[in-house]
Amino acid sequence: MEEISTLPEMKEKVGEARRKGHIIGLVPTMGCLHAGHMSLVDRARKECGLTVVSIFINPSQFGPNEDLASYPVRLDEDRARLRSSGVDVLFLPTRETIYPHGYRTYVEVEEITRHLCGKSRPGFFRGVATVVLKLFNIVKPDRAYFGEKDWQQLAVVESLVRDLNLDVTLVRLPIVRDPDGVAVSSRNLYLSPAERVSAAALSGALQSARKKILEGERSGEKIRQHMRELIQKQNGAEIDYISLCDPETFQDREELRGRTLIALAVKVGQARLIDNCLVDAS
Ligand code: AMP
């Protein structure tokens, strides 16, 4: 595996792959890699002649009181995982490479970013859209791989690609969970054993809500209340949002109908966890 941190080296590498006719795949991450990331990597490896995994903790997507300074870093373990899974290039740019002195251009995806995580983390999706566009411009991938764990982020990146006519195919992969149901996440490292039990209640609440909807419940508020009760019972759990919404526009649905996204963000101890599931309420 080659490790690249500068733009000219990256340009050289992708230029060479393109000349050889290889399909270039990109998996953007913030590192501290886990089975969720590796599902994206494995898929990219199968479909692409050159698989690039980027690790960049993007400062522009963190708010002033968020965990940028304490975000977990495990570079040695990440390198070993990527090497053994056959990744071609680890792209590890510095903050100065991505945001050099005088940097002043940002991308804003409108409307869908007003809801859910966009509402509780102002500026988050502006940071995400900006860094994803920059990574696309640097690596010029044919295919880019994202997880449905960050459902709204995927919708933002889909808008970015469509609205700005980017020549990249997005590949979306399902949420990878641990055996206790918890969606794997770098931030799970913040959880104490007791908090881990609370975290498991989040996917439990999603599954319970899904079951009620499949059994015929159509009141968004009743389902929300049911989930609130399940989660509030947990030690150290502080609900940011619980939403039953349209999976494309993220508008809340009071009367449930059609494809519905159940999404939540809950702070458990120091960790802000997000999770979601899709249900058909037709
Ligand atoms: P992150 O490093 O958290 O920015 O995530 C990088 C990519 O991995 C994003 O596309 C995430 O959606 C994806 N990802 C994170 N956790 C999971 C998971 N549990 N299952 C599937 N994909 C995930």
Phi, psi of 12 (to 5 degrees): -60, -45
- pTM of this structure: 0.98
Q: 115-120, long-range: CB within 8 Å, 24+ apart, which pairs?
A: 115/152, 115/243, 115/245, 115/250, 115/251, 115/252, 116/152, 116/241, 116/243, 116/245, 116/250, 116/263, 116/265, 117/152, 117/153, 117/265, 117/274, 118/152, 119/241, 120/240, 120/241, 120/265
pLDDT of the residue at 101: 98
Separation of CA 18 and ligand 1 centre (Å) = 27
Separation of CA 147 and ligand 1 centre (Å) = 5
Q: Which residues of the chain, if any, have pLDDT below 50? A: none
pLDDT of the residue at 198: 97
pLDDT of the residue at 28: 99
pLDDT of the residue at 264: 98
pLDDT of the residue at 197: 97
- 170 close to 157: Cβ distance less than 8 angstroms: yes
Q: Which domains does the chain have, with CATH numbers?
A: 2-173 (3.40.50.620), 186-277 (3.30.1300.10)
pLDDT of the residue at 95: 98
Mutation pick for ligand 1 pocket among 39, 71, 146 (CB with most ligand atoms within 8 Å): 146
Q: In what order do the strands lie in the sheet with 237-245?
A: 237-245, 259-268, 271-280
pLDDT of the residue at 191: 97
Q: Is residue 226 annotated as a catalytic residue, yes or no?
A: no
pLDDT of the residue at 60: 98
Catalytic residue among 22, 34, 37, 115: 37
